[in-house]
Amino acid sequence: MELKIENLSKTYSNGVHALKGIDLTIPSGMFGLLGPNGAGKSSLMRTLATLQQADTGTVTLGDIDVLNEKEKVRQLLGYLPQEFGVYPKVSSYAMLDHIASLKGVTGKGERKDLVASLLNKTNLWHVRNKSLGTYSGGMKQRFGIAQALIGEPKLIIVDEPTAGLDPTERVRFHNLLSEIGENTIVILSTHIVEDISNLCNNMAIICLGEVVAKGHPAALTEKVRNRIWKKAIEKAELEAYQEEMTVISTHLKAGKTVIHVLSDDQPDNTFAASTANLEDVYFAEITARMATITT
Protein backbone atom coordinates (compact mmCIF):
# COMPACT_ATOMS: atom_id res chain seq x y z
CA MET A 1 0.00 0.00 0.00
CA GLU A 2 1.12 3.54 -0.73
CA LEU A 3 0.20 6.89 0.79
CA LYS A 4 0.05 9.61 -1.83
CA ILE A 5 -0.12 13.26 -0.84
CA GLU A 6 -0.69 15.83 -3.56
CA ASN A 7 -0.67 19.60 -3.33
CA LEU A 8 -1.78 19.62 0.31
CA SER A 9 -2.20 23.09 1.80
CA LYS A 10 -3.46 24.48 5.09
CA THR A 11 -3.78 28.01 6.41
CA TYR A 12 -4.97 28.39 10.03
CA SER A 13 -7.56 30.98 10.95
CA ASN A 14 -4.79 33.17 12.44
CA GLY A 15 -3.26 33.42 8.95
CA VAL A 16 -0.33 30.99 9.49
CA HIS A 17 0.26 29.16 6.20
CA ALA A 18 1.39 25.88 7.80
CA LEU A 19 1.35 23.61 4.72
CA LYS A 20 2.15 24.93 1.25
CA GLY A 21 1.46 22.43 -1.50
CA ILE A 22 2.99 19.27 0.00
CA ASP A 23 3.65 16.47 -2.52
CA LEU A 24 4.90 13.17 -1.13
CA THR A 25 4.58 9.51 -2.01
CA ILE A 26 5.19 7.26 0.97
CA PRO A 27 5.71 3.53 0.43
CA SER A 28 5.52 0.72 3.02
CA GLY A 29 8.28 0.68 5.63
CA MET A 30 9.68 3.39 7.86
CA PHE A 31 9.41 6.92 6.50
CA GLY A 32 11.07 9.81 8.30
CA LEU A 33 9.64 13.31 8.24
CA LEU A 34 12.28 15.70 9.44
CA GLY A 35 11.95 19.42 10.04
CA PRO A 36 12.64 22.15 12.60
CA ASN A 37 10.00 23.20 15.10
CA GLY A 38 7.22 25.02 13.34
CA ALA A 39 7.95 23.36 9.96
CA GLY A 40 4.44 21.94 9.68
CA LYS A 41 5.10 18.33 10.70
CA SER A 42 2.28 18.06 13.24
CA SER A 43 -0.12 19.87 10.92
CA LEU A 44 0.64 17.27 8.26
CA MET A 45 0.43 14.35 10.72
CA ARG A 46 -2.90 15.54 12.14
CA THR A 47 -4.29 15.91 8.61
CA LEU A 48 -3.18 12.38 7.67
CA ALA A 49 -4.66 11.09 10.93
CA THR A 50 -8.03 12.63 9.87
CA LEU A 51 -8.02 14.99 12.86
CA GLN A 52 -8.03 18.23 10.91
CA GLN A 53 -9.15 19.50 7.54
CA ALA A 54 -6.85 20.63 4.75
CA ASP A 55 -7.79 23.59 2.54
CA THR A 56 -6.72 22.04 -0.77
CA GLY A 57 -5.08 18.88 -2.05
CA THR A 58 -5.69 15.14 -2.09
CA VAL A 59 -4.41 12.24 -0.02
CA THR A 60 -4.93 8.60 -0.93
CA LEU A 61 -4.06 5.47 1.04
CA GLY A 62 -4.30 2.64 -1.48
CA ASP A 63 -7.70 3.38 -3.00
CA ILE A 64 -9.05 5.26 0.04
CA ASP A 65 -9.65 9.00 -0.22
CA VAL A 66 -8.11 9.98 3.14
CA LEU A 67 -9.58 13.49 3.34
CA ASN A 68 -13.13 12.34 2.67
CA GLU A 69 -13.37 8.70 3.80
CA LYS A 70 -12.29 9.32 7.38
CA GLU A 71 -13.97 6.29 8.92
CA LYS A 72 -12.22 3.94 6.49
CA VAL A 73 -8.86 5.53 7.29
CA ARG A 74 -9.42 5.29 11.03
CA GLN A 75 -9.91 1.53 10.77
CA LEU A 76 -6.44 1.22 9.25
CA LEU A 77 -4.71 3.85 11.37
CA GLY A 78 -2.51 3.73 14.45
CA TYR A 79 -1.65 7.18 15.77
CA LEU A 80 0.72 8.26 18.50
CA PRO A 81 0.32 12.02 18.85
CA GLN A 82 2.95 14.44 20.10
CA GLU A 83 1.02 15.11 23.30
CA PHE A 84 -0.08 11.73 24.47
CA GLY A 85 -2.39 11.99 27.47
CA VAL A 86 -3.04 8.92 29.60
CA TYR A 87 -5.65 8.28 32.24
CA PRO A 88 -3.35 8.31 35.29
CA LYS A 89 -5.37 5.98 37.50
CA VAL A 90 -5.96 3.22 34.97
CA SER A 91 -3.52 0.33 34.44
CA SER A 92 -2.01 -0.33 31.01
CA TYR A 93 -3.72 -3.72 30.94
CA ALA A 94 -7.18 -2.28 31.58
CA MET A 95 -6.63 0.58 29.13
CA LEU A 96 -5.44 -1.62 26.26
CA ASP A 97 -8.30 -4.02 26.90
CA HIS A 98 -10.72 -1.10 26.71
CA ILE A 99 -9.21 0.39 23.53
CA ALA A 100 -9.16 -3.05 21.89
CA SER A 101 -12.85 -3.49 22.54
CA LEU A 102 -13.53 0.02 21.15
CA LYS A 103 -11.55 -0.94 18.05
CA GLY A 104 -13.80 -3.93 17.53
CA VAL A 105 -11.83 -6.79 19.12
CA THR A 106 -14.93 -8.15 20.81
CA GLY A 107 -13.99 -11.76 21.67
CA LYS A 108 -12.76 -11.94 25.27
CA GLY A 109 -10.15 -14.61 24.63
CA GLU A 110 -8.90 -12.90 21.48
CA ARG A 111 -8.59 -9.61 23.38
CA LYS A 112 -6.71 -11.24 26.23
CA ASP A 113 -4.17 -12.73 23.80
CA LEU A 114 -3.82 -9.46 21.92
CA VAL A 115 -3.27 -7.34 25.04
CA ALA A 116 -0.75 -9.83 26.43
CA SER A 117 1.20 -9.88 23.18
CA LEU A 118 1.26 -6.05 22.97
CA LEU A 119 2.40 -5.72 26.59
CA ASN A 120 5.18 -8.22 25.99
CA LYS A 121 6.24 -6.61 22.73
CA THR A 122 6.47 -3.18 24.37
CA ASN A 123 8.17 -4.58 27.46
CA LEU A 124 5.38 -3.52 29.81
CA TRP A 125 4.12 -6.89 30.94
CA HIS A 126 5.80 -6.63 34.35
CA VAL A 127 4.05 -3.29 35.04
CA ARG A 128 0.71 -4.18 33.43
CA ASN A 129 -1.25 -3.71 36.65
CA LYS A 130 0.41 -0.44 37.69
CA SER A 131 -1.50 2.75 36.96
CA LEU A 132 -0.34 4.72 33.90
CA GLY A 133 0.31 7.79 36.04
CA THR A 134 3.29 6.04 37.64
CA TYR A 135 4.99 5.29 34.30
CA SER A 136 8.22 6.99 33.15
CA GLY A 137 8.26 8.98 29.88
CA GLY A 138 9.69 5.99 28.00
CA MET A 139 7.11 3.62 29.41
CA LYS A 140 4.30 6.01 28.42
CA GLN A 141 5.68 6.20 24.88
CA ARG A 142 5.85 2.42 24.68
CA PHE A 143 2.28 2.25 25.93
CA GLY A 144 1.43 4.77 23.19
CA ILE A 145 2.88 2.42 20.59
CA ALA A 146 1.03 -0.56 22.09
CA GLN A 147 -2.30 1.25 21.72
CA ALA A 148 -1.38 2.40 18.20
CA LEU A 149 -0.70 -1.20 17.16
CA ILE A 150 -4.16 -2.48 18.12
CA GLY A 151 -6.18 -3.59 15.10
CA GLU A 152 -3.19 -4.35 12.81
CA PRO A 153 -2.99 -0.87 11.33
CA LYS A 154 -1.69 -0.36 7.79
CA LEU A 155 -0.68 3.23 8.52
CA ILE A 156 1.10 4.16 11.74
CA ILE A 157 1.89 7.78 12.53
CA VAL A 158 4.22 8.73 15.36
CA ASP A 159 4.73 12.42 16.02
CA GLU A 160 7.96 13.48 17.81
CA PRO A 161 8.13 10.18 19.70
CA THR A 162 11.55 10.47 21.32
CA ALA A 163 11.40 14.03 22.64
CA GLY A 164 11.98 13.78 26.38
CA LEU A 165 13.24 10.19 26.38
CA ASP A 166 16.62 9.28 27.88
CA PRO A 167 19.13 7.49 25.57
CA THR A 168 18.24 3.98 26.79
CA GLU A 169 14.54 4.64 26.38
CA ARG A 170 15.16 6.02 22.91
CA VAL A 171 17.04 2.92 21.76
CA ARG A 172 14.29 0.72 23.14
CA PHE A 173 11.67 2.79 21.36
CA HIS A 174 13.63 2.62 18.07
CA ASN A 175 13.89 -1.16 18.34
CA LEU A 176 10.18 -1.39 18.87
CA LEU A 177 9.43 0.74 15.80
CA SER A 178 11.83 -1.20 13.62
CA GLU A 179 10.04 -4.45 14.50
CA ILE A 180 6.77 -3.25 12.96
CA GLY A 181 6.14 -5.22 9.77
CA GLU A 182 7.52 -4.18 6.41
CA ASN A 183 4.03 -4.16 4.97
CA THR A 184 2.94 -1.28 7.16
CA ILE A 185 3.56 2.39 6.42
CA VAL A 186 5.19 3.95 9.48
CA ILE A 187 5.66 7.71 9.44
CA LEU A 188 8.05 9.01 12.04
CA SER A 189 7.94 12.77 12.44
CA THR A 190 10.85 14.30 14.33
CA HIS A 191 13.36 17.14 14.54
CA ILE A 192 16.07 14.68 15.62
CA VAL A 193 18.23 13.66 12.65
CA GLU A 194 19.66 10.60 14.39
CA ASP A 195 16.21 9.05 14.85
CA ILE A 196 15.80 9.04 11.08
CA SER A 197 19.30 7.99 10.04
CA ASN A 198 19.04 4.97 12.33
CA LEU A 199 15.63 3.82 11.21
CA CYS A 200 14.31 5.07 7.90
CA ASN A 201 14.82 3.97 4.30
CA ASN A 202 12.90 6.91 2.97
CA MET A 203 12.52 10.43 4.22
CA ALA A 204 11.58 14.00 3.52
CA ILE A 205 12.78 17.26 5.01
CA ILE A 206 10.16 19.94 5.44
CA CYS A 207 10.69 23.57 6.30
CA LEU A 208 8.22 26.46 6.42
CA GLY A 209 5.43 24.19 5.20
CA GLU A 210 7.28 22.95 2.11
CA VAL A 211 9.14 19.78 1.19
CA VAL A 212 12.74 20.89 0.61
CA ALA A 213 14.29 17.44 0.05
CA LYS A 214 13.11 13.85 -0.23
CA GLY A 215 14.55 10.41 -0.94
CA HIS A 216 16.77 7.78 0.56
CA PRO A 217 18.96 9.15 3.39
CA ALA A 218 22.12 7.81 1.70
CA ALA A 219 21.16 9.36 -1.66
CA LEU A 220 20.50 12.70 0.02
CA THR A 221 23.83 12.52 1.83
CA GLU A 222 25.53 11.84 -1.51
CA LYS A 223 24.42 15.30 -2.68
CA VAL A 224 26.69 17.02 -0.14
CA ARG A 225 29.57 14.54 -0.31
CA ASN A 226 32.97 16.27 -0.55
CA ARG A 227 31.27 19.64 0.01
CA ILE A 228 31.40 19.83 3.82
CA TRP A 229 34.34 21.55 5.50
CA LYS A 230 34.99 22.01 9.19
CA LYS A 231 37.03 24.33 11.34
CA ALA A 232 37.34 25.13 15.07
CA ILE A 233 36.95 28.86 15.68
CA GLU A 234 36.37 31.25 18.57
CA LYS A 235 32.72 31.97 19.21
CA ALA A 236 33.29 35.68 18.61
CA GLU A 237 34.48 34.95 15.06
CA LEU A 238 31.27 33.19 14.05
CA GLU A 239 29.48 36.19 12.61
CA ALA A 240 32.41 37.04 10.34
CA TYR A 241 32.45 33.49 8.97
CA GLN A 242 28.70 33.55 8.46
CA GLU A 243 29.06 36.67 6.33
CA GLU A 244 31.87 35.14 4.25
CA MET A 245 30.59 31.62 3.64
CA THR A 246 27.65 29.23 3.99
CA VAL A 247 27.96 28.11 7.60
CA ILE A 248 25.35 25.37 7.93
CA SER A 249 25.93 24.36 11.55
CA THR A 250 27.94 25.01 14.69
CA HIS A 251 28.87 22.48 17.36
CA LEU A 252 30.65 22.94 20.64
CA LYS A 253 33.65 20.67 21.02
CA ALA A 254 35.99 20.91 24.02
CA GLY A 255 35.08 24.55 24.58
CA LYS A 256 35.67 25.50 20.93
CA THR A 257 33.05 26.26 18.31
CA VAL A 258 33.34 23.92 15.33
CA ILE A 259 31.64 25.18 12.20
CA HIS A 260 30.52 23.16 9.19
CA VAL A 261 30.63 25.04 5.90
CA LEU A 262 29.01 23.99 2.61
CA SER A 263 31.29 24.71 -0.34
CA ASP A 264 32.27 22.96 -3.57
CA ASP A 265 35.93 23.81 -2.89
CA GLN A 266 38.00 23.98 0.27
CA PRO A 267 37.40 27.55 1.58
CA ASP A 268 41.10 27.81 2.55
CA ASN A 269 43.72 25.49 3.98
CA THR A 270 42.63 26.15 7.58
CA PHE A 271 39.51 24.08 6.83
CA ALA A 272 39.52 20.27 6.93
CA ALA A 273 37.29 18.00 4.87
CA SER A 274 34.44 16.56 6.92
CA THR A 275 32.64 13.32 6.10
CA ALA A 276 29.15 14.35 5.09
CA ASN A 277 26.28 12.90 7.05
CA LEU A 278 22.51 13.29 7.19
CA GLU A 279 22.79 16.10 9.70
CA ASP A 280 24.82 18.10 7.15
CA VAL A 281 22.12 17.48 4.53
CA TYR A 282 19.46 18.64 6.96
CA PHE A 283 21.27 21.82 7.97
CA ALA A 284 22.26 22.60 4.36
CA GLU A 285 18.64 22.32 3.19
CA ILE A 286 17.25 24.32 6.11
CA THR A 287 19.92 27.03 5.75
CA ALA A 288 19.20 27.34 2.02
CA ARG A 289 15.45 27.59 2.59
CA MET A 290 15.81 30.12 5.40
CA ALA A 291 18.16 32.23 3.27
CA THR A 292 15.38 32.75 0.75
CA ILE A 293 13.27 34.57 3.33
CA THR A 294 15.98 36.54 5.12
CA THR A 295 17.64 38.05 2.03
Among 7, 12, 87, 136, binds ligand ADP (CB under 6 A): 12
Contacts of 187 (CB under 8 A, 6+ apart): 3, 26, 31, 33, 45, 48, 155, 156, 157, 158
Size of the site for ligand ADP (CB under 6 A): 12
Smaller CB distance to ligand ADP: residue 38 or 62? 38
- Find the helix packing angle between 137-149 and 92-102, rounded to 10°: 20
Q: Is 53 in the site for ligand ADP (CB under 6 A)?
A: no
From the CB of 159, what's the least distance to ligand ADP, in Å? Answer: 7
Stretch touching ligand ADP by CB under 6 A, among 37-45, 110-118, 126-134, 232-240: 37-45
Q: Is 127 in the site for ligand ADP (CB under 6 A)?
A: no
Cα separation of 245 and 94, whole Å? 58
Q: Is 39 in the site for ligand ADP (CB under 6 A)?
A: yes
Q: Is 32 in the site for ligand ADP (CB under 6 A)?
A: no
Among 6, 29, 38, 58, binds ligand ADP (CB under 6 A): 38
From the CB of 182, what's the least distance to ligand ADP, in Å? Answer: 27
Smaller CB distance to ligand ADP: residue 37 or 294? 37
Its sign, for the CA torsion 110, 186, 46, 277, is positive
Smaller CB distance to ligand ADP: residue 3 or 19? 19
Smaller CB distance to ligand ADP: residue 33 or 149? 33
Among 26, 28, 31, 41, binds ligand ADP (CB under 6 A): 41
Smaller CB distance to ligand ADP: residue 127 or 281? 281
Strand partners, 137: none
Query: What SS3 state is found at 242?
Result: helix
From the CB of 33, what's the least distance to ligand ADP, in Å? Answer: 9
| Spatial CA neighbour of 267 closest among 294, 229, 234, 217 | 229
Cα separation of 173 and 190, whole Å? 14
Cα separation of 142 and 168, whole Å? 13
| H-helix segments, the chain | 41-48, 70-76, 92-102, 108-121, 137-149, 167-178, 193-199, 217-222, 238-244, 278-294
Stretch touching ligand ADP by CB under 6 A, among 34-42, 112-120, 180-188, 258-266: 34-42
Q: Is 35 in the site for ligand ADP (CB under 6 A)?
A: yes
Specify whether the CB–CB gap between 223 and 215 falls below 8 A: no
Among 32, 40, 81, 217, binds ligand ADP (CB under 6 A): 40
> Residue 37 is which amino acid?
N
Stretch touching ligand ADP by CB under 6 A, among 14-22, 108-116, 178-186, 211-219: 14-22
Stretch touching ligand ADP by CB under 6 A, among 10-18, 20-28, 72-80, 84-92: 10-18
Q: Kindly state the DSSP code that residue 6 receives in the 8-state scheme.
A: E
- Find the helix packing angle between 137-149 and 167-178, rounded to 10°: 10
From the CB of 207, what's the least distance to ligand ADP, in Å? Answer: 9
Binding site for ligand ADP (CB under 6 A): 12, 14, 16, 18, 35, 37-43
